[in-house]
Amino acid sequence: MVSGIVSYGVYIPRFRIRADEIARVWGDGDDIPLSLQVFEKSVPDLDEDAVTIAVEAARNAIDRAGVDPRRIGAIYAGSESHPYAVKPTGTIVGQAVGTSPSFTTADFEFACKAGTAAIQACLGLVTSDQIDLGLAIGADVSQGAPGDMLEYTAAAGGAAYLIGKKDLAAQIEGFYSFTTDTPDFWRREGMPYPEHGGRFTGEPAYFKHVTSAATGLMERMQTSPKDYDYAVFHQPNGKFPVRVARMLGFSKSQIEPGLIVPLIGNTYSASCLIGLAATLDVARPGERIFVTSFGSGAGSDAFSIRVMDRIEEIRCHAPSVRDYIGNAQYLDYAMYAKHKGKLRV
Protein backbone atom coordinates (compact mmCIF):
# COMPACT_ATOMS: atom_id res chain seq x y z
CA MET A 1 0.00 0.00 0.00
CA VAL A 2 1.26 3.47 -0.82
CA SER A 3 1.99 6.03 1.90
CA GLY A 4 1.99 9.78 2.02
CA ILE A 5 0.28 12.89 3.37
CA VAL A 6 -3.05 12.35 5.12
CA SER A 7 -3.35 16.01 6.09
CA TYR A 8 -1.36 19.18 6.61
CA GLY A 9 -1.60 22.39 8.60
CA VAL A 10 0.35 25.59 9.02
CA TYR A 11 0.60 28.46 11.46
CA ILE A 12 2.17 31.87 10.79
CA PRO A 13 2.12 34.56 13.51
CA ARG A 14 0.14 37.65 12.56
CA PHE A 15 2.86 40.14 13.44
CA ARG A 16 5.18 41.43 10.69
CA ILE A 17 8.04 43.84 10.26
CA ARG A 18 8.79 45.35 6.88
CA ALA A 19 12.32 44.98 5.57
CA ASP A 20 12.55 48.70 4.86
CA GLU A 21 11.93 49.36 8.58
CA ILE A 22 14.95 47.21 9.46
CA ALA A 23 16.97 49.02 6.78
CA ARG A 24 15.90 52.38 8.21
CA VAL A 25 17.17 51.53 11.68
CA TRP A 26 20.55 50.24 10.51
CA GLY A 27 21.01 52.74 7.68
CA ASP A 28 21.37 49.99 5.10
CA GLY A 29 19.37 51.58 2.30
CA ASP A 30 16.47 50.23 0.27
CA ASP A 31 18.58 48.02 -1.99
CA ILE A 32 18.98 45.17 0.51
CA PRO A 33 15.30 44.07 0.59
CA LEU A 34 15.28 44.21 -3.20
CA SER A 35 18.50 42.22 -3.49
CA LEU A 36 17.19 39.57 -1.08
CA GLN A 37 13.68 39.61 -2.56
CA VAL A 38 12.30 39.60 0.99
CA PHE A 39 10.05 42.56 1.75
CA GLU A 40 8.58 41.65 5.13
CA LYS A 41 8.78 38.81 7.62
CA SER A 42 6.66 37.19 10.32
CA VAL A 43 7.41 37.90 13.97
CA PRO A 44 6.26 35.79 16.96
CA ASP A 45 4.00 37.27 19.59
CA LEU A 46 5.41 37.81 23.06
CA ASP A 47 4.11 34.45 24.25
CA GLU A 48 4.89 32.41 21.11
CA ASP A 49 7.78 30.03 20.57
CA ALA A 50 8.55 26.96 18.49
CA VAL A 51 6.31 24.81 20.72
CA THR A 52 3.20 27.00 20.57
CA ILE A 53 3.65 27.37 16.81
CA ALA A 54 4.06 23.60 16.42
CA VAL A 55 0.88 23.01 18.44
CA GLU A 56 -1.18 25.39 16.29
CA ALA A 57 0.10 23.85 13.05
CA ALA A 58 -0.59 20.33 14.37
CA ARG A 59 -4.13 21.25 15.42
CA ASN A 60 -4.79 22.61 11.94
CA ALA A 61 -3.51 19.39 10.36
CA ILE A 62 -5.74 17.29 12.62
CA ASP A 63 -8.78 19.50 12.06
CA ARG A 64 -8.32 19.66 8.29
CA ALA A 65 -8.85 15.92 7.89
CA GLY A 66 -11.01 15.32 10.97
CA VAL A 67 -8.49 12.79 12.30
CA ASP A 68 -8.72 11.24 15.77
CA PRO A 69 -5.40 12.32 17.38
CA ARG A 70 -5.28 9.06 19.33
CA ARG A 71 -4.31 7.37 16.04
CA ILE A 72 -0.97 9.20 16.08
CA GLY A 73 1.84 6.82 16.99
CA ALA A 74 4.83 9.10 16.49
CA ILE A 75 5.56 12.83 16.75
CA TYR A 76 8.81 14.20 15.38
CA ALA A 77 9.34 17.94 15.73
CA GLY A 78 12.12 19.62 13.76
CA SER A 79 13.41 23.04 14.82
CA GLU A 80 16.49 25.22 15.28
CA SER A 81 14.79 26.95 18.20
CA HIS A 82 13.41 24.28 20.55
CA PRO A 83 12.77 26.27 23.75
CA TYR A 84 14.22 23.57 25.99
CA ALA A 85 17.72 22.13 25.82
CA VAL A 86 16.47 19.16 27.86
CA LYS A 87 12.71 18.62 27.42
CA PRO A 88 11.22 17.43 24.15
CA THR A 89 8.90 19.60 22.11
CA GLY A 90 7.04 16.49 20.95
CA THR A 91 5.70 15.58 24.40
CA ILE A 92 4.11 19.01 24.76
CA VAL A 93 2.59 18.83 21.28
CA GLY A 94 1.15 15.37 21.94
CA GLN A 95 -0.48 16.44 25.19
CA ALA A 96 -1.84 19.63 23.63
CA VAL A 97 -3.46 17.96 20.62
CA GLY A 98 -4.93 15.04 22.57
CA THR A 99 -2.91 11.99 21.59
CA SER A 100 -2.93 8.91 23.79
CA PRO A 101 0.27 8.24 25.79
CA SER A 102 1.01 5.39 23.36
CA PHE A 103 3.29 7.25 20.99
CA THR A 104 7.00 7.73 20.44
CA THR A 105 8.60 11.13 20.03
CA ALA A 106 11.93 12.83 19.47
CA ASP A 107 13.06 16.32 18.61
CA PHE A 108 14.98 16.74 15.36
CA GLU A 109 17.69 19.24 14.52
CA PHE A 110 19.21 19.73 11.08
CA ALA A 111 19.05 23.46 10.52
CA CYS A 112 16.28 24.24 8.01
CA LYS A 113 15.61 20.66 6.89
CA ALA A 114 14.72 19.10 10.24
CA GLY A 115 11.03 19.10 9.24
CA THR A 116 11.56 17.04 6.09
CA ALA A 117 13.78 14.65 8.05
CA ALA A 118 10.81 14.22 10.41
CA ILE A 119 8.62 13.30 7.43
CA GLN A 120 11.13 10.65 6.38
CA ALA A 121 11.17 9.16 9.88
CA CYS A 122 7.37 9.01 9.96
CA LEU A 123 7.33 7.36 6.52
CA GLY A 124 9.64 4.64 7.80
CA LEU A 125 7.36 3.75 10.73
CA VAL A 126 4.18 3.98 8.64
CA THR A 127 5.54 1.95 5.74
CA SER A 128 6.76 -0.80 8.09
CA ASP A 129 3.31 -0.93 9.76
CA GLN A 130 4.67 0.05 13.17
CA ILE A 131 2.23 2.98 13.50
CA ASP A 132 -1.03 4.11 11.96
CA LEU A 133 -0.20 7.83 11.70
CA GLY A 134 2.92 9.89 12.22
CA LEU A 135 2.99 13.63 12.88
CA ALA A 136 5.97 15.46 11.34
CA ILE A 137 6.50 19.11 12.26
CA GLY A 138 8.85 21.91 11.25
CA ALA A 139 8.55 25.01 13.44
CA ASP A 140 10.89 27.86 14.26
CA VAL A 141 11.25 31.32 15.73
CA SER A 142 14.41 32.06 13.78
CA GLN A 143 17.17 34.28 15.13
CA GLY A 144 19.38 36.89 13.51
CA ALA A 145 21.76 39.21 15.35
CA PRO A 146 20.82 42.91 15.36
CA GLY A 147 22.24 44.53 12.25
CA ASP A 148 23.15 41.19 10.67
CA MET A 149 21.88 40.36 7.19
CA LEU A 150 19.90 37.46 8.70
CA GLU A 151 17.72 39.97 10.50
CA TYR A 152 16.02 40.75 7.19
CA THR A 153 14.92 37.15 6.67
CA ALA A 154 14.84 35.18 9.97
CA ALA A 155 11.12 34.66 10.59
CA ALA A 156 8.60 32.58 12.57
CA GLY A 157 6.17 29.89 11.45
CA GLY A 158 5.35 26.21 11.43
CA ALA A 159 3.93 23.39 9.35
CA ALA A 160 2.67 19.96 10.38
CA TYR A 161 2.06 16.88 8.24
CA LEU A 162 0.12 13.75 9.15
CA ILE A 163 1.78 10.79 7.43
CA GLY A 164 -0.08 7.53 6.88
CA LYS A 165 -1.43 4.98 4.40
CA LYS A 166 -5.21 5.52 4.50
CA ASP A 167 -7.24 8.41 3.07
CA LEU A 168 -4.26 10.09 1.44
CA ALA A 169 -4.45 13.70 0.31
CA ALA A 170 -1.13 13.25 -1.48
CA GLN A 171 1.05 10.23 -2.19
CA ILE A 172 4.79 10.48 -1.54
CA GLU A 173 6.13 8.58 -4.55
CA GLY A 174 9.76 8.63 -3.45
CA PHE A 175 12.50 10.61 -1.75
CA TYR A 176 16.26 11.05 -1.96
CA SER A 177 18.76 12.71 0.38
CA PHE A 178 22.19 14.24 -0.17
CA THR A 179 24.37 15.10 2.86
CA THR A 180 27.92 16.31 3.51
CA ASP A 181 29.86 17.95 6.34
CA THR A 182 29.82 21.60 5.19
CA PRO A 183 30.38 24.39 7.78
CA ASP A 184 28.21 27.05 6.16
CA PHE A 185 26.13 28.08 9.19
CA TRP A 186 26.03 27.14 12.88
CA ARG A 187 25.16 28.14 16.41
CA ARG A 188 27.00 26.63 19.38
CA GLU A 189 25.44 25.99 22.78
CA GLY A 190 24.96 29.26 24.65
CA MET A 191 25.26 31.47 21.58
CA PRO A 192 22.18 33.69 21.15
CA TYR A 193 22.63 34.07 17.39
CA PRO A 194 24.00 31.87 14.58
CA GLU A 195 27.11 32.60 12.53
CA HIS A 196 27.85 32.33 8.81
CA GLY A 197 30.57 30.25 7.23
CA GLY A 198 31.29 32.96 4.67
CA ARG A 199 32.68 31.31 1.55
CA PHE A 200 30.85 28.05 2.33
CA THR A 201 27.44 29.72 1.93
CA GLY A 202 25.71 29.55 -1.46
CA GLU A 203 27.48 27.42 -4.04
CA PRO A 204 29.16 24.81 -1.76
CA ALA A 205 26.12 24.55 0.50
CA TYR A 206 22.65 25.46 -0.81
CA PHE A 207 23.15 25.02 -4.55
CA LYS A 208 25.34 21.92 -4.39
CA HIS A 209 23.04 20.06 -2.01
CA VAL A 210 19.70 21.09 -3.51
CA THR A 211 20.77 20.27 -7.07
CA SER A 212 22.38 16.98 -6.00
CA ALA A 213 19.30 15.78 -4.09
CA ALA A 214 16.94 16.93 -6.83
CA THR A 215 18.86 15.32 -9.69
CA GLY A 216 19.39 12.19 -7.60
CA LEU A 217 15.65 11.75 -7.10
CA MET A 218 14.77 12.47 -10.72
CA GLU A 219 17.36 9.95 -11.88
CA ARG A 220 16.06 7.35 -9.44
CA MET A 221 12.45 7.91 -10.51
CA GLN A 222 13.29 8.48 -14.19
CA THR A 223 11.47 11.81 -14.21
CA SER A 224 12.32 15.32 -15.36
CA PRO A 225 11.03 18.83 -14.50
CA LYS A 226 8.37 18.60 -17.23
CA ASP A 227 6.76 15.68 -15.35
CA TYR A 228 5.81 18.00 -12.48
CA ASP A 229 3.15 20.70 -12.24
CA TYR A 230 4.76 22.44 -9.26
CA ALA A 231 8.10 22.67 -7.52
CA VAL A 232 9.08 23.89 -4.05
CA PHE A 233 12.64 24.57 -2.91
CA HIS A 234 13.96 25.75 0.43
CA GLN A 235 13.60 29.52 0.67
CA PRO A 236 16.39 31.25 2.64
CA ASN A 237 15.61 34.34 0.56
CA GLY A 238 13.68 35.13 -2.59
CA LYS A 239 16.64 34.71 -4.96
CA PHE A 240 18.01 31.24 -4.22
CA PRO A 241 14.88 29.15 -4.99
CA VAL A 242 14.31 31.02 -8.25
CA ARG A 243 17.92 30.49 -9.30
CA VAL A 244 18.07 26.81 -8.35
CA ALA A 245 14.76 26.13 -10.11
CA ARG A 246 16.23 27.65 -13.28
CA MET A 247 19.43 25.59 -12.88
CA LEU A 248 17.38 22.38 -12.65
CA GLY A 249 15.05 23.22 -15.53
CA PHE A 250 11.90 24.21 -13.63
CA SER A 251 9.93 27.25 -14.78
CA LYS A 252 8.92 30.28 -12.74
CA SER A 253 5.26 29.30 -13.04
CA GLN A 254 6.01 25.93 -11.40
CA ILE A 255 7.49 27.53 -8.28
CA GLU A 256 5.28 30.62 -7.91
CA PRO A 257 2.43 29.06 -5.84
CA GLY A 258 4.86 27.94 -3.12
CA LEU A 259 7.21 30.93 -3.19
CA ILE A 260 6.11 32.67 0.00
CA VAL A 261 9.42 33.91 1.44
CA PRO A 262 9.04 37.48 0.04
CA LEU A 263 5.96 37.89 2.26
CA ILE A 264 6.86 36.04 5.47
CA GLY A 265 10.65 35.57 5.42
CA ASN A 266 12.59 32.38 6.08
CA THR A 267 10.82 30.21 8.66
CA TYR A 268 13.79 27.82 8.75
CA SER A 269 12.53 24.27 9.50
CA ALA A 270 9.08 25.28 8.25
CA SER A 271 10.23 27.11 5.11
CA CYS A 272 9.99 24.33 2.55
CA LEU A 273 7.01 22.76 4.32
CA ILE A 274 4.96 25.98 4.29
CA GLY A 275 5.82 26.34 0.60
CA LEU A 276 4.51 22.81 0.04
CA ALA A 277 1.35 23.62 2.02
CA ALA A 278 0.75 26.74 -0.11
CA THR A 279 1.05 24.53 -3.18
CA LEU A 280 -1.31 21.89 -1.78
CA ASP A 281 -3.77 24.72 -1.14
CA VAL A 282 -4.17 25.17 -4.91
CA ALA A 283 -3.10 21.85 -6.47
CA ARG A 284 -5.64 19.60 -8.15
CA PRO A 285 -5.95 15.80 -8.00
CA GLY A 286 -3.48 14.06 -10.29
CA GLU A 287 -0.97 16.92 -10.28
CA ARG A 288 2.60 16.30 -9.14
CA ILE A 289 4.80 18.39 -6.85
CA PHE A 290 8.58 18.26 -6.63
CA VAL A 291 9.98 19.35 -3.25
CA THR A 292 13.58 19.83 -2.12
CA SER A 293 14.56 21.11 1.32
CA PHE A 294 17.95 22.32 2.50
CA GLY A 295 19.57 22.46 5.91
CA SER A 296 22.92 24.01 6.70
CA GLY A 297 25.61 21.67 7.85
CA ALA A 298 24.61 20.50 5.17
CA GLY A 299 21.95 18.38 3.49
CA SER A 300 18.89 18.27 1.27
CA ASP A 301 15.86 15.98 1.07
CA ALA A 302 13.97 15.73 -2.24
CA PHE A 303 10.43 14.34 -2.57
CA SER A 304 8.15 13.43 -5.46
CA ILE A 305 4.49 13.93 -4.52
CA ARG A 306 1.27 13.15 -6.38
CA VAL A 307 -1.94 14.90 -5.29
CA MET A 308 -4.92 12.60 -4.65
CA ASP A 309 -8.68 13.13 -4.95
CA ARG A 310 -9.14 13.53 -1.20
CA ILE A 311 -7.37 16.90 -1.24
CA GLU A 312 -10.62 18.46 -2.49
CA GLU A 313 -12.54 17.09 0.52
CA ILE A 314 -10.21 18.36 3.25
CA ARG A 315 -8.60 21.50 1.86
CA CYS A 316 -11.08 24.05 3.20
CA HIS A 317 -11.35 22.68 6.75
CA ALA A 318 -8.37 24.64 8.11
CA PRO A 319 -6.77 28.01 7.33
CA SER A 320 -4.71 28.21 4.15
CA VAL A 321 -1.24 29.72 3.90
CA ARG A 322 -2.70 32.74 2.12
CA ASP A 323 -5.24 33.16 4.96
CA TYR A 324 -2.36 33.61 7.38
CA ILE A 325 -0.39 35.83 5.03
CA GLY A 326 -3.40 38.11 4.67
CA ASN A 327 -3.82 38.51 8.43
CA ALA A 328 -0.90 40.85 9.08
CA GLN A 329 -0.26 43.40 11.83
CA TYR A 330 2.87 45.51 11.40
CA LEU A 331 5.41 46.45 14.07
CA ASP A 332 8.06 49.13 14.20
CA TYR A 333 11.62 48.08 15.06
CA ALA A 334 11.27 48.84 18.76
CA MET A 335 8.24 46.56 19.17
CA TYR A 336 9.87 43.95 16.95
CA ALA A 337 12.95 43.95 19.20
CA LYS A 338 10.70 43.47 22.23
CA HIS A 339 8.84 40.58 20.59
CA LYS A 340 12.09 38.88 19.60
CA GLY A 341 13.75 39.31 22.99
CA LYS A 342 16.59 41.38 21.56
CA LEU A 343 16.44 43.78 24.50
CA ARG A 344 18.65 42.11 27.11
CA VAL A 345 19.08 43.70 30.55
DSSP assignment of 164-223 equals ESSS-SEEEEEEEEEE----SEE--TT-SS-EE-GGGSSIIIIIHHHHHHHHHHHHHHT-
Residues 6+ apart with CB under 8 A from 266: 38, 41, 112, 142, 153, 154, 155, 235, 236, 237
pLDDT at 175 over 70: yes
pLDDT at 333 over 90: yes
Per-residue pLDDT at 194: 77
Region 273-297 average pLDDT: 97
Residues 6+ apart with CB under 8 A from 272: 112, 113, 115, 116, 138, 232, 233, 234, 235, 291, 292, 293, 294
pLDDT at 205 over 90: yes
- The radius of gyration of the chain from alpha carbons, rounded to an integer in Å, stands at 19
Do residues 299 and 113 touch, judged by C-beta distance below 8 A? yes
Compute the distance between CA of residue 255 and CA of residue 251 in angstroms, rounded to an integer: 7
pLDDT at 151 over 90: yes
Q: How confident is the model at residue 189 (pLDDT cuts 50, 70, 90)?
A: confident
pLDDT at 286 over 60: yes
Residues 6+ apart with CB under 8 A from 216: 176, 178, 302
Region 170-184 average pLDDT: 95
Per-residue pLDDT at 200: 65
* In the chain, % of residues over pLDDT 90: 87
Compute the distance between CA of residue 60 and CA of residue 319 in angstroms, rounded to an integer: 7
pTM: 0.97
Element of type H or E holding 16: strand 15-18
Q: Express each pLDDT in 229-253 by its tens digit.
A: 999 999 999 999 999 999 999 999 9
Region 321-337 average pLDDT: 97
Per-residue pLDDT at 188: 80
Element of type H or E holding 35: helix 31-36
pLDDT at 132 over 90: yes
Domain 4-170+313-339 has CATH 3.40.47.10: yes
Compute the distance between CA of residue 129 and CA of residue 80 in angstroms, rounded to an integer: 30
Strand partners, 108: 78
Report the catalytic residues.
80, 112, 234
Q: How confident is the model at residue 283 (pLDDT cuts 50, 70, 90)?
A: very high
Per-residue pLDDT at 228: 98
Which of 38, 49, 40 has its CA nearest to residue 16? 40
DSSP 340: T
Q: Express each pLDDT in 18-67 by its tens digit.
A: 999 999 999 888 889 999 999 999 999 999 999 999 999 999 999 999 99
SS (H, E, C) 75-100: EEEECCCCCCCCCCHHHHHHHHHCCC
Region 148-154 average pLDDT: 92
- Same fold for the domain at 4-170+313-339 and the one at 173-311? yes
pLDDT at 201 over 90: no
Per-residue pLDDT at 345: 57
CATH code for the structural domain at 173-311: 3.40.47.10
Compute the distance between CA of residue 225 and CA of residue 218 in angstroms, rounded to an integer: 8
One-letter amino acid identity for 7?
S
- Domain parsing of the chain, residue ranges: 4-170+313-339, 173-311
Compute the distance between CA of residue 189 and CA of residue 275 in angstroms, rounded to an integer: 30
Per-residue pLDDT at 301: 98
Q: Express each pLDDT in 89-128 by its tens digit.
A: 999 999 999 999 999 999 999 999 999 999 999 999 999 9
Per-residue pLDDT at 199: 62
